[in-house]
Amino acid sequence: DIIAESLGSHLREDFVSVDDYASNCGATYRVVGLIQPDPGAEVVAFAAQKVLFHGPGIVAYVDDNGDWHALNASTFPNVYRIAWTTNQGKISENQPQSPGAPGDLGKTASAGDTGKYVLLAAEQMTLNISGNNAIRFVVVSGETPIGGYQPGISASYIGVNLDGPRFFRNMILWISGYMGELKFVQQYINDQKTMSQQLTQANSNLLMAQQTISQLQQQLQQAQSALSSANGQITQLSSQLSQLNTQLSKVNSTANSALNAANSAASPSLAYAGIIVGILALIVALVAVAMKPKK
């Protein structure tokens, strides 16, 4: 922890041990860590799934104020959580504060806590080296990768096959930036991410299209409903117009009948009047002749 702090890293090894009751080499303290890196560090899991952490501690995060945080519960900028216990991890305390006394030195976990814990993490840092910014990594592990009682680089332990040699080669290639054969793995991962993003975008576009179709269908239903209502109104108006035409025909028929009756009644009277006028004209003519002086 002193070395990590002196380098400016936020990563620390907490002062507790962790056992794993599901993934181990015959005893809970012989933890077989699962390589499940955060996004951005996926390449280190190439051909490496299980690595030995013999009697490990857990990795924690210390912020700029000096406060400790559990790495298993949160993500932090430029920090990649890489190796984990299973969900059946359990915190134990093997170093009491004084001989024979109960120990409780953990900063982010206490003896008896259970869950999934971080066994190895890396922090990407930008350092000024000879006036130039350079990317460097600080890796903090709960157990020694090389050396120690039984190192993480082990290929097998007590009959359990492990991926230690491949994993730590991956780690060195990754943090050095050299990559080696991992270049092809990284390209595959990048292509996979691109395809995943394209698929996500396609699914999003499909969802939007489906929503648009649904809206258009609703609008079509509304238009059909309005058209049906308009057709009903047209039918009603046609019926009313037909009734009016019928009534108008009746009125016309009645008017024609009345006119014919009037014409029929008026014809004899006109004849009599004509005769009377003719007689009067004849009388006037006779009188005029009678009164005409004789030569």
Which token pair is 175? Answer: 């943090």
Q: Quote the CA–CA distance of 263 and 242 in Å, as a whole number.
A: 31
Residues contacting 87, CB < 8 A, separation 6+? 22, 115, 116
- Measured in degrees and rounded to the nearest 5, phi and psi for residue 31 equal -70, 135
Contact 92, 18 (CB under 8 A): yes
**Sign of the alpha-carbon torsion through 225, 229, 235, 241:** negative
pLDDT at 192: 87
Spatial CB neighbours of 153, under 8 Å, sequence gap ≥ 6? 145, 146, 164, 165, 168
Residue 26 Cα to chain centre, angstroms: 44
Mean pLDDT by 10 residues, the chain (295 residues): 93 95 98 98 97 97 97 96 99 72 80 97 93 94 93 97 98 95 90 91 92 91 88 88 84 77 64 68 67 60
CA angle 110, 111, 112 (to 5 degrees): 110
